[in-house]
């Protein structure tokens, strides 16, 4: 979703402005994005969260009456949700410059409010609010102040917390205070959902600390599929004389990982809780930086899209139209099995590739041209209902049939290097 000036879409069903443009040869300098290992971590997954909806905002107000308390609580809840939303979309380095707005302006940003868990007394009002904002208006507000932002919601990232000490490295075995702290992490409001495995007998049989540290692709893929995750981060916490040292190794369609983190303090639950918060924040910042949209730096990319039939093409086209970074889509040619498309987008090719991967679309350099293809869900994968922070998987979609006019096939191992 982008501001109105970016919202024009040219498609086969809306051919206004449809023009034949050169199919750009991919310059070597533009082949900058990295496909990280473990390409198999791409299961069918539930719909991505709406970045402009802030859920479960707590309000608790006491006033002269319950009615007055309710009005004050809703007003305060909207403002709290506004703060949460801007912090979600922007980098920490820009938080001091975030726009401060009056109540009248805030009203123009709010689309709707949903109230839940409501409790009242004669003078007190308690509830949780879900506030849905108007994305176009929020984007225009940030763009007007020249503040870059990301609105690319990510698929869940599964955390495997390995604790390393003089006694060795443990994942499932007790004591593992690092895993305990991750299990107690409060639910966040960020664009990058983090989840942790249950640690049940199936998890124990799927992967151990040694395989996690070695980055075993098959075992990492299997546990990612079980939890419907878009990727896996092996988070290794090592006890030091001054606290903890944390190293992150991310597998999947990732952003690259933050540098080694250090957290000072005396060993104990509080130290591990602070380490979890710092790690989660670093991962969130890395995701936002990689998927940042800067209206002052538009770009264009031409690519080939293969499909099996018109239905598959329309589904792919809809995903492209729903991708936040994409301003417009122009068809330059169209056949029964392949389309050539020019995308006008904000951000980098790397960030665009990451955002598309969340929608089960892989952008890769194929023989000197950008190509887009669906990421087929693995057979018989399943998600675990009730796993912490992880929704159940959406129904799997059948992979497309081979397209006879597709550009030369990928290597047998599926590797793709721009």
Q: Which range among 3-7, 87-91, 301-305 has the greatest average pLDDT?
A: 87-91
- 30 and 135 both lie in a single domain: no
From the number of C-beta atoms within 10 Å of its C-beta (0-12, 13-18, 19+), residue 188 rates as middle
- Bridge partners of 169, per DSSP, are 164
In this structure, what are the phi and psi dihedrals at residue 26, rounded to the nearest 5 degrees? -75, 115
Gap between the Cα atoms of 305 and 339, Å rounded? 5
- 176 and 300 both lie in a single domain: no
Q: Residue 117's domain is classified under what CATH number?
A: 3.10.28
- Of the listed ranges 5-14, 116-125, 261-270, the least confidently predicted one is 5-14
Token pair for 157: 């990232």
- Bridge partners of 374, per DSSP, are 361
The residue behind tokens 């796993």 is 387
Residue 414: which of 366, 369, 380 has the closest Cα?
366
For residue 106, the model assigns a pLDDT of: 95
- 281 and 174 both lie in a single domain: yes
Kindly state whether residue 379 falls inside one of the protein's structural domains: no
Instruction: Give the gyration radius of the chain's Cα atoms.
Output: 23
- Segment 240-255, tens digit of pLDDT: 989 999 999 888 665 5
Confidence bin at 256 (pLDDT 50/70/90): low
Residues in the chain, total = 418
- 331 and 260 both lie in a single domain: no
Token pair for 186: 């409060």
Kindly state whether residue 393 falls inside one of the protein's structural domains: no
Confidence bin at 294 (pLDDT 50/70/90): confident
For residue 62, the model assigns a pLDDT of: 96
Pairing of strands 168-170, 157-165: antiparallel
Reduce the DSSP state of residue 344 to 3 states and report it: strand
Alpha-carbon torsion (282, 372, 223, 162), positive or negative: negative
For residue 12, the model assigns a pLDDT of: 31
User: 388: how many CB neighbours lie within 10 A of its CB?
Assistant: 16
**% of the chain residues with pLDDT over 90:** 46
Q: Are 215 and 249 in contact (CB under 8 A)?
A: yes
Confidence bin at 166 (pLDDT 50/70/90): confident
Q: What is the residue range of 98's domain? A: 53-144
User: 178: how many CB neighbours lie within 10 A of its CB?
Assistant: 27
From the number of C-beta atoms within 10 Å of its C-beta (0-12, 13-18, 19+), residue 84 rates as middle
- Segment 108-152, tens digit of pLDDT: 999 999 999 999 999 999 999 999 999 999 999 998 898 999 988
- Segment 170-199, tens digit of pLDDT: 999 989 999 999 999 988 889 999 999 999
Residue 238: which of 175, 168, 184, 172 has the closest Cα?
168
- 80 and 136 both lie in a single domain: yes
């Amino acid at each position: 979703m982008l501001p109105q000036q970016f919202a024009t879409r040219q498609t086969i069903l809306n051919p206004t402005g449809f023009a034949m443009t050169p199919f750009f040869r991919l310059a070597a300098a533009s082949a900058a994005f990295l496909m990280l290992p473990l390409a198999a971590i791409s299961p069918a997954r539930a719909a991505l969260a709406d970045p402009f909806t802030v859920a479960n905002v707590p309000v608790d107000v006491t006033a002269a009456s319950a009615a007055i308390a309710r009005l004050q609580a809703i007003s305060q809840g909207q403002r709290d949700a506004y703060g949460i939303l801007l912090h979600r979309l922007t980098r920490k380095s820009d938080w001091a410059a975030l726009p401060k707005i009056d109540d009248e302006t805030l009203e123009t940003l709010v689309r709707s409010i949903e109230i839940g868990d409501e409790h009242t007394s004669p003078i007190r009002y308690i509830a949780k609010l879900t506030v849905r904002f108007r994305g176009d208006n929020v984007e225009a507000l940030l763009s007007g102040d020249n503040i870059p932002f990301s609105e690319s919601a990510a698929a869940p990232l599964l955390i495997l917390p390995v604790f390393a000490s003089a006694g060795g490295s443990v994942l499932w075995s007790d004591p593992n205070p690092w895993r305990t702290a991750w299990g107690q992490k409060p639910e966040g409001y960020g664009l990058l959902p983090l989840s942790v495995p249950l640690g049940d007998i199936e998890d124990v049989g799927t992967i151990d600390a040694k395989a996690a540290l070695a980055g075993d692709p098959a075992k990492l893929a299997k546990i990612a599929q079980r939890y419907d995750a878009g990727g896996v981060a092996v988070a290794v916490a090592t006890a030091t004389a001054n606290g903890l040292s944390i190293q992150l190794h991310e597998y999947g369609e990732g952003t690259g990982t933050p540098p080694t983190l250090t957290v000072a303090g005396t060993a104990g639950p509080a130290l591990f809780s602070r380490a979890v918060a710092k790690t989660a924040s670093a991962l969130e910042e890395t995701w936002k930086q990689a998927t940042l949209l800067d209206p002052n730096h538009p770009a264009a990319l031409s690519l080939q899209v293969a499909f099996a039939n018109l239905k598959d093409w329309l589904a792919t086209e809809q995903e492209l139209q729903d991708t936040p970074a994409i301003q417009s889509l122009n068809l330059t040619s169209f056949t029964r099995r392949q389309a050539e498309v020019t995308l006008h987008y904000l951000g980098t090719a790397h960030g665009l590739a990451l955002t598309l991967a969340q929608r089960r679309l892989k952008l890769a350099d194929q023989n000197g041209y950008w190509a887009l293809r669906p990421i087929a869900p693995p057979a018989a994968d399943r998600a675990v209902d009730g796993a912490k922070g992880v929704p159940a998987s959406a129904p799997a979609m059948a992979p497309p049939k081979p397209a006879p006019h597709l550009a030369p096939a990928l290597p047998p191992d599926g590797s793709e290097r721009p």
